[in-house]
A and B are shown apart, each in its own frame.
Chain A
Amino acid sequence: MNFDTTLGEQNIFILHVEGKILGNAADGFREEMEQYLQGGNDKLIVDLMNVPLIDSNALGAIILSLKGYQKAGGKLVLLSPQKAVRNTLEVTQLTTVLEIYDTEESALSAFS
Protein backbone atom coordinates (compact mmCIF):
# COMPACT_ATOMS: atom_id res chain seq x y z
CA MET A 1 0.00 0.00 0.00
CA ASN A 2 1.39 3.38 -1.05
CA PHE A 3 0.22 6.93 -0.48
CA ASP A 4 0.62 10.10 -2.44
CA THR A 5 -0.97 13.46 -1.79
CA THR A 6 -1.88 16.22 -4.20
CA LEU A 7 -3.47 19.56 -3.50
CA GLY A 8 -6.64 20.37 -5.41
CA GLU A 9 -8.53 23.64 -5.80
CA GLN A 10 -9.56 25.47 -2.64
CA ASN A 11 -6.53 23.87 -0.96
CA ILE A 12 -8.28 20.55 -0.54
CA PHE A 13 -6.00 17.57 -0.10
CA ILE A 14 -6.47 14.52 -2.29
CA LEU A 15 -5.02 11.34 -0.81
CA HIS A 16 -4.17 8.84 -3.54
CA VAL A 17 -3.96 5.29 -2.26
CA GLU A 18 -2.40 2.47 -4.23
CA GLY A 19 -2.70 -1.24 -3.51
CA LYS A 20 -4.90 -3.55 -1.47
CA ILE A 21 -5.88 -2.43 2.01
CA LEU A 22 -6.10 -5.60 4.07
CA GLY A 23 -5.57 -6.54 7.71
CA ASN A 24 -3.22 -4.37 9.75
CA ALA A 25 -2.57 -2.07 6.78
CA ALA A 26 -5.86 -0.42 7.77
CA ASP A 27 -4.12 1.23 10.74
CA GLY A 28 -1.68 3.02 8.46
CA PHE A 29 -4.54 3.93 6.11
CA ARG A 30 -6.48 5.49 8.98
CA GLU A 31 -3.44 7.43 10.25
CA GLU A 32 -2.87 8.72 6.75
CA MET A 33 -6.49 9.91 6.42
CA GLU A 34 -6.53 11.51 9.87
CA GLN A 35 -3.22 13.36 9.71
CA TYR A 36 -4.79 16.12 7.62
CA LEU A 37 -7.52 16.54 10.20
CA GLN A 38 -4.90 16.75 12.95
CA GLY A 39 -3.11 19.34 10.85
CA GLY A 40 -6.27 21.47 10.87
CA ASN A 41 -7.68 20.48 7.45
CA ASP A 42 -11.19 19.16 7.81
CA LYS A 43 -11.74 18.40 4.13
CA LEU A 44 -10.29 15.34 2.42
CA ILE A 45 -10.77 13.44 -0.82
CA VAL A 46 -9.63 9.81 -0.69
CA ASP A 47 -8.78 8.52 -4.16
CA LEU A 48 -9.34 4.74 -4.35
CA MET A 49 -8.83 4.38 -8.10
CA ASN A 50 -5.78 2.15 -7.61
CA VAL A 51 -7.15 0.07 -4.76
CA PRO A 52 -8.29 -3.33 -6.03
CA LEU A 53 -9.59 -4.65 -2.71
CA ILE A 54 -10.44 -3.61 0.84
CA ASP A 55 -11.51 -5.69 3.81
CA SER A 56 -13.56 -5.03 6.92
CA ASN A 57 -10.56 -3.48 8.69
CA ALA A 58 -10.28 -0.89 5.93
CA LEU A 59 -14.04 -0.26 6.19
CA GLY A 60 -13.54 0.36 9.91
CA ALA A 61 -10.75 2.84 9.13
CA ILE A 62 -13.02 4.69 6.68
CA ILE A 63 -15.93 4.78 9.14
CA LEU A 64 -13.75 6.10 11.98
CA SER A 65 -12.07 8.73 9.81
CA LEU A 66 -15.41 9.79 8.34
CA LYS A 67 -16.80 10.27 11.84
CA GLY A 68 -13.69 12.26 12.81
CA TYR A 69 -14.07 14.65 9.88
CA GLN A 70 -17.82 15.02 10.47
CA LYS A 71 -17.28 15.72 14.14
CA ALA A 72 -14.87 18.50 13.24
CA GLY A 73 -17.54 20.00 10.98
CA GLY A 74 -15.70 18.90 7.87
CA LYS A 75 -16.12 16.25 5.25
CA LEU A 76 -14.38 13.19 3.81
CA VAL A 77 -15.40 11.90 0.39
CA LEU A 78 -14.28 8.97 -1.75
CA LEU A 79 -13.12 9.12 -5.34
CA SER A 80 -13.39 6.46 -8.06
CA PRO A 81 -13.55 3.16 -6.17
CA GLN A 82 -13.00 0.10 -8.38
CA LYS A 83 -15.71 -2.48 -8.91
CA ALA A 84 -14.87 -4.78 -5.98
CA VAL A 85 -14.43 -1.88 -3.55
CA ARG A 86 -17.60 -0.17 -4.78
CA ASN A 87 -19.46 -3.44 -4.35
CA THR A 88 -18.26 -3.72 -0.74
CA LEU A 89 -19.37 -0.13 -0.04
CA GLU A 90 -22.75 -0.79 -1.60
CA VAL A 91 -23.44 -4.09 0.13
CA THR A 92 -22.53 -2.65 3.54
CA GLN A 93 -24.60 0.44 2.62
CA LEU A 94 -21.75 2.76 3.49
CA THR A 95 -22.84 4.46 0.27
CA THR A 96 -25.70 5.92 2.32
CA VAL A 97 -23.33 7.71 4.71
CA LEU A 98 -20.42 8.41 2.36
CA GLU A 99 -20.27 10.64 -0.68
CA ILE A 100 -18.63 8.92 -3.63
CA TYR A 101 -17.53 10.72 -6.82
CA ASP A 102 -16.22 9.51 -10.13
CA THR A 103 -14.08 12.50 -11.10
CA GLU A 104 -11.76 14.78 -9.22
CA GLU A 105 -13.76 17.81 -10.44
CA SER A 106 -17.05 16.51 -9.07
CA ALA A 107 -15.37 15.51 -5.79
CA LEU A 108 -13.89 19.00 -5.44
CA SER A 109 -17.22 20.63 -6.25
CA ALA A 110 -18.75 18.74 -3.32
CA PHE A 111 -16.88 21.10 -1.04
CA SER A 112 -17.95 24.37 -2.62
Chain B
Amino acid sequence: MVETILVVDDDMDILELLKMSLESDGFKVRTATDGYSGLQSARLNPPDLILLDVMMPQKDGFQVIQELKESEETQVIPVILLTARGQTEDKVRGLDTGADDYITKPFDLREVTARIETVLGRTRPIKYINPLMRTMGDGFSEEGVQQLAGHLRTAAAIQKKLLPEKLPSLQGYDLAALLQSSTAVSGDFYDFIPLSETQFGIVLGDVKGNGIPAALLMVMIRTALRLLCQEEPLPASVLKRINDLLVRDTDVDLFATMIYGILDTQASTFTYSNGGHCYPLHRKNLHGPCYTNDGEKSQLEDFKNTRGSRESTTIDFLETGGMLVGAFDHAEFASETCFLERGDILLFYTDGITETEAQESLQPTETTSEDMFYGEERLVACLSENATLTAKALCQAVVSDLALFSGSTQPNDDRALVVIRRES
Protein backbone atom coordinates (compact mmCIF):
# COMPACT_ATOMS: atom_id res chain seq x y z
CA MET B 1 0.00 0.00 0.00
CA VAL B 2 1.35 3.43 -0.96
CA GLU B 3 1.55 5.72 2.04
CA THR B 4 0.62 9.38 1.84
CA ILE B 5 2.66 12.18 3.36
CA LEU B 6 1.21 15.64 3.81
CA VAL B 7 3.88 18.34 3.72
CA VAL B 8 2.90 21.72 5.20
CA ASP B 9 5.35 24.59 4.69
CA ASP B 10 5.05 28.19 3.54
CA ASP B 11 8.35 27.98 1.68
CA MET B 12 7.54 26.83 -1.87
CA ASP B 13 11.12 25.74 -2.59
CA ILE B 14 11.19 23.42 0.40
CA LEU B 15 7.76 22.04 -0.56
CA GLU B 16 8.91 21.21 -4.07
CA LEU B 17 12.17 19.71 -2.88
CA LEU B 18 10.46 17.47 -0.31
CA LYS B 19 7.73 16.46 -2.77
CA MET B 20 10.29 15.35 -5.37
CA SER B 21 12.45 13.53 -2.87
CA LEU B 22 9.61 11.72 -1.09
CA GLU B 23 7.92 10.75 -4.35
CA SER B 24 11.15 9.18 -5.52
CA ASP B 25 11.14 7.22 -2.23
CA GLY B 26 7.77 5.78 -3.23
CA PHE B 27 5.43 7.94 -1.11
CA LYS B 28 2.38 9.76 -2.36
CA VAL B 29 2.80 13.43 -1.46
CA ARG B 30 0.22 16.15 -0.82
CA THR B 31 1.25 19.72 -0.03
CA ALA B 32 -0.22 22.71 1.77
CA THR B 33 1.30 26.18 2.07
CA ASP B 34 -0.21 27.30 5.38
CA GLY B 35 -1.65 25.95 8.61
CA TYR B 36 -5.29 26.37 7.63
CA SER B 37 -5.14 24.47 4.36
CA GLY B 38 -2.87 21.87 6.00
CA LEU B 39 -5.50 21.18 8.66
CA GLN B 40 -8.26 21.09 6.08
CA SER B 41 -6.36 18.61 3.94
CA ALA B 42 -5.65 16.40 6.97
CA ARG B 43 -9.29 16.40 8.04
CA LEU B 44 -10.67 15.77 4.59
CA ASN B 45 -8.48 12.78 3.92
CA PRO B 46 -6.14 11.81 6.78
CA PRO B 47 -2.61 11.12 5.49
CA ASP B 48 -0.28 8.51 6.99
CA LEU B 49 2.13 11.16 8.25
CA ILE B 50 2.44 14.95 8.33
CA LEU B 51 5.68 16.89 7.84
CA LEU B 52 4.89 20.20 9.50
CA ASP B 53 6.81 23.47 9.48
CA VAL B 54 6.76 25.33 12.79
CA MET B 55 7.26 28.90 11.56
CA MET B 56 4.24 29.81 9.46
CA PRO B 57 2.20 33.01 9.38
CA GLN B 58 -1.30 33.05 10.94
CA LYS B 59 -1.52 29.50 12.21
CA ASP B 60 1.87 28.09 13.25
CA GLY B 61 2.88 24.44 13.55
CA PHE B 62 2.08 24.18 17.25
CA GLN B 63 -1.47 25.39 16.73
CA VAL B 64 -1.90 22.93 13.88
CA ILE B 65 -0.75 20.00 16.07
CA GLN B 66 -3.04 21.11 18.86
CA GLU B 67 -6.03 21.13 16.54
CA LEU B 68 -5.03 17.80 15.01
CA LYS B 69 -5.01 16.28 18.49
CA GLU B 70 -8.47 17.64 19.23
CA SER B 71 -10.22 15.64 16.54
CA GLU B 72 -10.72 11.88 16.58
CA GLU B 73 -9.97 11.46 12.89
CA THR B 74 -6.69 13.30 12.97
CA GLN B 75 -5.25 12.71 16.43
CA VAL B 76 -3.61 9.42 15.48
CA ILE B 77 -1.71 10.84 12.48
CA PRO B 78 2.01 10.95 13.30
CA VAL B 79 3.62 14.39 12.93
CA ILE B 80 7.25 15.33 12.31
CA LEU B 81 8.08 18.99 12.93
CA LEU B 82 10.45 21.03 10.80
CA THR B 83 12.20 23.52 13.06
CA ALA B 84 14.84 26.17 12.52
CA ARG B 85 18.34 25.44 13.71
CA GLY B 86 19.00 26.13 17.34
CA GLN B 87 15.38 26.52 18.35
CA THR B 88 15.64 24.05 21.26
CA GLU B 89 12.54 25.50 22.84
CA ASP B 90 10.60 24.69 19.68
CA LYS B 91 11.72 21.08 19.85
CA VAL B 92 10.72 20.65 23.45
CA ARG B 93 7.42 22.42 22.94
CA GLY B 94 6.76 20.41 19.80
CA LEU B 95 7.33 17.08 21.49
CA ASP B 96 5.22 18.23 24.44
CA THR B 97 2.36 19.11 22.13
CA GLY B 98 2.42 15.60 20.69
CA ALA B 99 4.82 15.67 17.73
CA ASP B 100 6.48 12.31 17.07
CA ASP B 101 9.84 13.70 16.00
CA TYR B 102 11.49 16.87 14.67
CA ILE B 103 13.95 17.70 11.92
CA THR B 104 16.18 20.76 12.01
CA LYS B 105 16.41 23.03 8.97
CA PRO B 106 18.48 23.00 6.86
CA PHE B 107 18.16 19.26 6.53
CA ASP B 108 19.68 16.42 4.61
CA LEU B 109 17.02 14.73 2.45
CA ARG B 110 18.28 11.29 3.49
CA GLU B 111 17.69 12.24 7.11
CA VAL B 112 14.11 13.20 6.30
CA THR B 113 13.46 9.81 4.68
CA ALA B 114 15.11 7.97 7.56
CA ARG B 115 13.04 9.79 10.19
CA ILE B 116 9.81 9.27 8.29
CA GLU B 117 10.59 5.55 8.01
CA THR B 118 11.31 5.35 11.75
CA VAL B 119 8.08 7.08 12.74
CA LEU B 120 5.99 5.10 10.25
CA GLY B 121 7.69 1.90 11.41
CA ARG B 122 6.42 2.69 14.86
CA THR B 123 2.86 3.52 13.87
CA ARG B 124 2.38 1.21 10.87
CA PRO B 125 1.82 -2.03 12.82
CA ILE B 126 -0.95 -0.41 14.81
CA LYS B 127 -2.73 0.81 11.71
CA TYR B 128 -2.29 -1.90 9.14
CA ILE B 129 -0.93 -5.11 10.52
CA ASN B 130 -3.30 -5.73 13.37
CA PRO B 131 -6.46 -6.94 11.63
CA LEU B 132 -8.20 -7.46 14.96
CA MET B 133 -7.90 -3.76 15.64
CA ARG B 134 -9.30 -2.96 12.23
CA THR B 135 -12.38 -5.11 12.70
CA MET B 136 -12.86 -4.06 16.29
CA GLY B 137 -12.28 -0.38 15.72
CA ASP B 138 -9.12 1.50 16.47
CA GLY B 139 -8.01 1.51 20.05
CA PHE B 140 -7.12 5.17 20.22
CA SER B 141 -10.24 7.21 19.81
CA GLU B 142 -12.89 7.27 22.45
CA GLU B 143 -15.30 5.81 19.94
CA GLY B 144 -12.87 3.00 19.20
CA VAL B 145 -12.43 2.14 22.84
CA GLN B 146 -16.18 2.20 23.38
CA GLN B 147 -16.70 -0.03 20.38
CA LEU B 148 -14.09 -2.47 21.70
CA ALA B 149 -15.74 -2.46 25.12
CA GLY B 150 -19.06 -3.15 23.41
CA HIS B 151 -17.58 -6.15 21.58
CA LEU B 152 -16.13 -7.44 24.83
CA ARG B 153 -19.51 -7.18 26.53
CA THR B 154 -21.08 -9.11 23.64
CA ALA B 155 -18.32 -11.74 23.87
CA ALA B 156 -18.91 -12.04 27.60
CA ALA B 157 -22.64 -12.43 27.03
CA ILE B 158 -22.11 -15.12 24.37
CA GLN B 159 -19.72 -16.93 26.65
CA LYS B 160 -22.13 -16.77 29.53
CA LYS B 161 -24.79 -18.31 27.32
CA LEU B 162 -22.46 -21.20 26.53
CA LEU B 163 -22.30 -22.10 30.18
CA PRO B 164 -25.17 -24.38 31.15
CA GLU B 165 -27.96 -22.05 32.19
CA LYS B 166 -29.55 -24.62 34.43
CA LEU B 167 -27.62 -27.51 35.83
CA PRO B 168 -29.16 -30.89 35.00
CA SER B 169 -31.16 -32.41 37.82
CA LEU B 170 -29.81 -35.88 38.42
CA GLN B 171 -31.64 -38.45 40.50
CA GLY B 172 -29.83 -38.79 43.79
CA TYR B 173 -27.22 -36.12 43.10
CA ASP B 174 -26.82 -32.48 44.05
CA LEU B 175 -24.76 -30.36 41.62
CA ALA B 176 -23.47 -26.81 41.74
CA ALA B 177 -21.07 -24.78 39.62
CA LEU B 178 -19.61 -21.33 39.79
CA LEU B 179 -17.50 -19.14 37.53
CA GLN B 180 -15.84 -15.85 38.44
CA SER B 181 -14.00 -13.93 35.72
CA SER B 182 -11.12 -11.59 36.37
CA THR B 183 -11.77 -9.90 33.01
CA ALA B 184 -14.92 -9.47 30.93
CA VAL B 185 -14.39 -12.83 29.27
CA SER B 186 -13.03 -15.88 31.00
CA GLY B 187 -10.49 -18.59 30.21
CA ASP B 188 -12.05 -20.93 32.74
CA PHE B 189 -15.09 -22.96 31.80
CA TYR B 190 -17.31 -25.85 32.79
CA ASP B 191 -20.00 -27.80 31.03
CA PHE B 192 -22.53 -30.54 31.74
CA ILE B 193 -23.44 -32.74 28.81
CA PRO B 194 -26.26 -35.33 28.92
CA LEU B 195 -25.00 -38.58 27.37
CA SER B 196 -27.81 -40.99 28.26
CA GLU B 197 -30.59 -41.39 30.82
CA THR B 198 -28.10 -42.19 33.52
CA GLN B 199 -24.83 -40.74 32.23
CA PHE B 200 -23.65 -37.16 32.28
CA GLY B 201 -20.45 -35.73 30.92
CA ILE B 202 -18.85 -33.14 33.20
CA VAL B 203 -16.00 -30.92 32.17
CA LEU B 204 -14.00 -28.25 33.92
CA GLY B 205 -11.09 -26.51 32.27
CA ASP B 206 -8.73 -23.58 32.16
CA VAL B 207 -7.54 -22.18 28.86
CA LYS B 208 -4.12 -20.53 28.82
CA GLY B 209 -4.20 -16.78 29.29
CA ASN B 210 -7.36 -14.74 29.52
CA GLY B 211 -9.35 -12.23 27.56
CA ILE B 212 -10.47 -12.69 23.96
CA PRO B 213 -7.86 -15.25 22.75
CA ALA B 214 -8.57 -17.51 25.72
CA ALA B 215 -12.31 -17.15 25.23
CA LEU B 216 -12.03 -18.09 21.54
CA LEU B 217 -10.03 -21.20 22.39
CA MET B 218 -12.49 -22.07 25.12
CA VAL B 219 -15.41 -21.93 22.68
CA MET B 220 -13.49 -24.17 20.26
CA ILE B 221 -12.73 -26.73 22.97
CA ARG B 222 -16.26 -26.70 24.29
CA THR B 223 -17.71 -27.31 20.82
CA ALA B 224 -15.22 -30.10 20.05
CA LEU B 225 -15.90 -31.71 23.40
CA ARG B 226 -19.68 -31.65 22.96
CA LEU B 227 -19.30 -33.48 19.65
CA LEU B 228 -16.55 -35.90 20.64
CA CYS B 229 -18.07 -37.06 23.91
CA GLN B 230 -21.01 -38.50 21.98
CA GLU B 231 -18.61 -40.57 19.86
CA GLU B 232 -15.95 -41.65 22.30
CA PRO B 233 -17.02 -43.69 25.32
CA LEU B 234 -13.71 -43.27 27.15
CA PRO B 235 -12.81 -39.88 28.68
CA ALA B 236 -9.12 -40.42 27.84
CA SER B 237 -9.97 -40.87 24.15
CA VAL B 238 -11.95 -37.62 24.19
CA LEU B 239 -8.99 -35.69 25.63
CA LYS B 240 -6.61 -37.36 23.17
CA ARG B 241 -8.73 -36.26 20.23
CA ILE B 242 -9.08 -32.71 21.54
CA ASN B 243 -5.32 -32.64 22.07
CA ASP B 244 -4.66 -33.76 18.51
CA LEU B 245 -7.14 -31.24 17.17
CA LEU B 246 -5.51 -28.36 19.04
CA VAL B 247 -1.98 -29.41 18.13
CA ARG B 248 -2.99 -29.51 14.49
CA ASP B 249 -5.10 -26.37 14.33
CA THR B 250 -3.67 -23.86 16.75
CA ASP B 251 -0.44 -22.18 17.62
CA VAL B 252 1.77 -24.15 19.96
CA ASP B 253 1.30 -21.79 22.86
CA LEU B 254 -2.46 -22.22 22.93
CA PHE B 255 -3.36 -25.01 25.28
CA ALA B 256 -5.68 -25.88 28.13
CA THR B 257 -5.77 -27.93 31.26
CA MET B 258 -9.02 -29.79 31.74
CA ILE B 259 -10.82 -32.66 33.36
CA TYR B 260 -13.49 -34.56 31.54
CA GLY B 261 -15.46 -37.26 33.30
CA ILE B 262 -18.67 -39.26 33.07
CA LEU B 263 -20.96 -39.45 36.06
CA ASP B 264 -22.97 -42.66 35.97
CA THR B 265 -25.93 -42.32 38.31
CA GLN B 266 -26.89 -45.97 38.01
CA ALA B 267 -23.49 -47.46 38.77
CA SER B 268 -22.62 -44.56 41.14
CA THR B 269 -19.27 -44.08 39.45
CA PHE B 270 -17.26 -41.22 38.09
CA THR B 271 -14.92 -42.13 35.24
CA TYR B 272 -12.54 -39.34 34.37
CA SER B 273 -9.43 -38.33 32.50
CA ASN B 274 -7.24 -35.45 33.56
CA GLY B 275 -5.34 -33.30 31.05
CA GLY B 276 -2.86 -31.49 33.26
CA HIS B 277 -5.52 -29.99 35.51
CA CYS B 278 -5.48 -29.51 39.31
CA TYR B 279 -6.38 -32.79 41.00
CA PRO B 280 -10.05 -32.82 42.07
CA LEU B 281 -10.97 -33.56 45.68
CA HIS B 282 -13.01 -36.58 46.69
CA ARG B 283 -14.56 -36.58 50.14
CA LYS B 284 -15.31 -40.19 50.89
CA ASN B 285 -17.54 -41.76 53.46
CA LEU B 286 -15.85 -44.75 54.96
CA HIS B 287 -18.23 -47.13 56.63
CA GLY B 288 -17.33 -49.65 59.30
CA PRO B 289 -14.40 -49.38 61.66
CA CYS B 290 -12.47 -46.20 61.20
CA TYR B 291 -8.81 -46.19 60.43
CA THR B 292 -6.23 -43.52 60.08
CA ASN B 293 -3.65 -43.20 57.43
CA ASP B 294 -1.00 -40.94 58.89
CA GLY B 295 1.62 -41.59 56.22
CA GLU B 296 -0.46 -40.17 53.40
CA LYS B 297 0.06 -36.46 53.08
CA SER B 298 -2.72 -36.09 50.54
CA GLN B 299 -5.30 -37.34 53.00
CA LEU B 300 -7.02 -35.32 55.62
CA GLU B 301 -9.36 -37.06 57.97
CA ASP B 302 -12.17 -36.09 60.18
CA PHE B 303 -14.20 -38.33 62.37
CA LYS B 304 -17.57 -38.06 63.90
CA ASN B 305 -19.73 -40.19 66.09
CA THR B 306 -23.08 -41.07 64.67
CA ARG B 307 -25.41 -42.72 67.14
CA GLY B 308 -22.67 -44.67 68.76
CA SER B 309 -21.30 -46.22 65.60
CA ARG B 310 -18.23 -44.44 64.31
CA GLU B 311 -18.33 -43.16 60.80
CA SER B 312 -15.25 -41.65 59.24
CA THR B 313 -14.52 -39.68 56.15
CA THR B 314 -11.38 -38.94 54.19
CA ILE B 315 -10.57 -36.36 51.58
CA ASP B 316 -8.38 -37.66 48.76
CA PHE B 317 -7.04 -36.12 45.59
CA LEU B 318 -8.01 -37.89 42.38
CA GLU B 319 -4.41 -38.19 41.32
CA THR B 320 -4.62 -39.93 37.98
CA GLY B 321 -3.13 -37.28 35.73
CA GLY B 322 -2.15 -36.63 32.16
CA MET B 323 -0.40 -34.09 29.97
CA LEU B 324 -1.90 -30.65 29.47
CA VAL B 325 -4.07 -30.55 26.35
CA GLY B 326 -3.00 -29.04 23.04
CA ALA B 327 0.76 -28.54 23.31
CA PHE B 328 2.35 -31.91 22.48
CA ASP B 329 1.31 -34.31 19.74
CA HIS B 330 2.51 -37.38 21.62
CA ALA B 331 0.51 -36.57 24.77
CA GLU B 332 -1.06 -39.57 26.49
CA PHE B 333 -4.12 -39.64 28.70
CA ALA B 334 -5.48 -42.21 31.12
CA SER B 335 -8.99 -42.96 32.34
CA GLU B 336 -9.75 -43.81 35.93
CA THR B 337 -12.96 -44.71 37.75
CA CYS B 338 -13.91 -43.93 41.31
CA PHE B 339 -16.96 -45.17 43.18
CA LEU B 340 -19.25 -42.67 44.86
CA GLU B 341 -20.77 -43.72 48.17
CA ARG B 342 -23.83 -42.00 49.58
CA GLY B 343 -22.81 -38.60 50.92
CA ASP B 344 -19.58 -38.52 48.87
CA ILE B 345 -18.51 -35.19 47.41
CA LEU B 346 -16.40 -34.44 44.33
CA LEU B 347 -14.97 -30.93 44.12
CA PHE B 348 -13.36 -29.63 40.93
CA TYR B 349 -11.53 -26.31 40.82
CA THR B 350 -9.16 -24.24 38.70
CA ASP B 351 -5.81 -22.84 39.82
CA GLY B 352 -7.36 -19.38 40.13
CA ILE B 353 -8.71 -20.72 43.43
CA THR B 354 -5.63 -22.36 44.91
CA GLU B 355 -3.36 -19.59 43.65
CA THR B 356 -5.40 -16.79 45.21
CA GLU B 357 -2.92 -14.58 47.01
CA ALA B 358 -3.06 -13.77 50.69
CA GLN B 359 -3.86 -10.30 51.92
CA GLU B 360 -0.71 -8.21 51.89
CA SER B 361 -0.77 -7.76 55.65
CA LEU B 362 -0.82 -11.54 56.04
CA GLN B 363 1.99 -12.22 53.61
CA PRO B 364 5.30 -13.37 55.03
CA THR B 365 8.24 -11.12 54.23
CA GLU B 366 10.25 -13.96 52.73
CA THR B 367 9.43 -14.83 49.12
CA THR B 368 8.41 -18.40 49.68
CA SER B 369 5.36 -20.08 48.30
CA GLU B 370 4.20 -21.25 51.73
CA ASP B 371 1.26 -19.29 53.14
CA MET B 372 1.36 -16.78 50.31
CA PHE B 373 -1.31 -18.62 48.36
CA TYR B 374 -4.61 -20.19 49.30
CA GLY B 375 -3.35 -23.64 48.35
CA GLU B 376 -4.80 -27.14 48.23
CA GLU B 377 -4.55 -27.73 51.96
CA ARG B 378 -6.77 -24.83 52.85
CA LEU B 379 -9.26 -25.93 50.19
CA VAL B 380 -9.28 -29.42 51.73
CA ALA B 381 -9.91 -27.88 55.14
CA CYS B 382 -12.71 -25.71 53.76
CA LEU B 383 -14.37 -28.74 52.16
CA SER B 384 -14.02 -30.69 55.38
CA GLU B 385 -15.62 -27.94 57.46
CA ASN B 386 -18.51 -27.37 55.09
CA ALA B 387 -19.16 -30.91 53.94
CA THR B 388 -22.67 -31.02 55.36
CA LEU B 389 -23.84 -28.08 53.25
CA THR B 390 -25.64 -28.37 49.92
CA ALA B 391 -23.45 -28.28 46.80
CA LYS B 392 -24.43 -24.67 46.14
CA ALA B 393 -23.79 -23.55 49.71
CA LEU B 394 -20.45 -25.35 49.63
CA CYS B 395 -19.42 -23.35 46.53
CA GLN B 396 -20.39 -20.16 48.35
CA ALA B 397 -18.44 -21.24 51.42
CA VAL B 398 -15.28 -21.63 49.30
CA VAL B 399 -15.83 -18.18 47.76
CA SER B 400 -16.31 -16.65 51.23
CA ASP B 401 -13.16 -18.33 52.49
CA LEU B 402 -11.23 -17.00 49.47
CA ALA B 403 -12.48 -13.48 50.19
CA LEU B 404 -11.41 -13.85 53.81
CA PHE B 405 -7.97 -15.09 52.77
CA SER B 406 -7.33 -12.50 50.04
CA GLY B 407 -9.16 -9.58 51.65
CA SER B 408 -10.98 -9.02 48.36
CA THR B 409 -14.03 -10.32 46.54
CA GLN B 410 -12.51 -9.43 43.18
CA PRO B 411 -10.50 -12.36 41.75
CA ASN B 412 -7.07 -11.75 40.19
CA ASP B 413 -7.45 -14.77 37.97
CA ASP B 414 -10.47 -16.60 36.58
CA ARG B 415 -11.97 -19.08 39.02
CA ALA B 416 -14.23 -22.04 38.38
CA LEU B 417 -15.67 -24.52 40.82
CA VAL B 418 -17.89 -27.56 40.34
CA VAL B 419 -19.32 -29.61 43.19
CA ILE B 420 -21.05 -32.98 42.85
CA ARG B 421 -22.54 -34.60 45.91
CA ARG B 422 -24.22 -37.97 46.04
CA GLU B 423 -27.15 -37.55 48.33
CA SER B 424 -27.21 -39.70 51.42
Contact = CB atoms under 8 A, between A and B. Distances in A.
Nearest to B350: A56
Q: What does DSSP make chain A's interface, helix, strand, loop or mixed?
A: helix
Q: What does DSSP make chain B's interface, helix, strand, loop or mixed?
A: loop
Given A67-B252, A93-B276, A59 B324 contact: yes
Nearest to B413: A55
Contacts of B252: 63-64, 67
Interface in B202-222: 206-209
Contacts of A63: 252-253, 255, 327
Interface in B241-297: 252-255, 257, 276-279
B322 interface: yes
Given A63-B252, A67-B252, A92-B257, A56 B367 contact: no
B372 A52 contact: yes
Given A59-B324, A88-B351, A91-B276, A52 B255 contact: no
Interface of A: 18-19, 50, 52-53, 55-57, 59-61, 63-64, 67, 82-85, 88, 90-94, 96-97
A92 B355 contact: no
Contacts of B253: 60-61, 63-64
B171 interface: no
Given A52-B369, A60-B253, A84-B373, 19 more contacts: A18-B367, A50-B367, A52-B368, A55-B413, A56-B187, A60-B254, A61-B253, A63-B255, A64-B252, A83-B370, A84-B375, A90-B321, A91-B257, A91-B277, A93-B276, A93-B322, A93-B323, A94-B276, A97-B328
B75 to A, nearest CB: 26
B369 A55 contact: no
Contacts of A53: 355, 369, 372-373
A60 B369 contact: no
Nearest to A97: B328
Contacts of B370: 83
Contact of B208 (A60, A94, A97): A60
Nearest to B331: A93
Contacts of B279: 91
A53 to B, nearest CB: 6
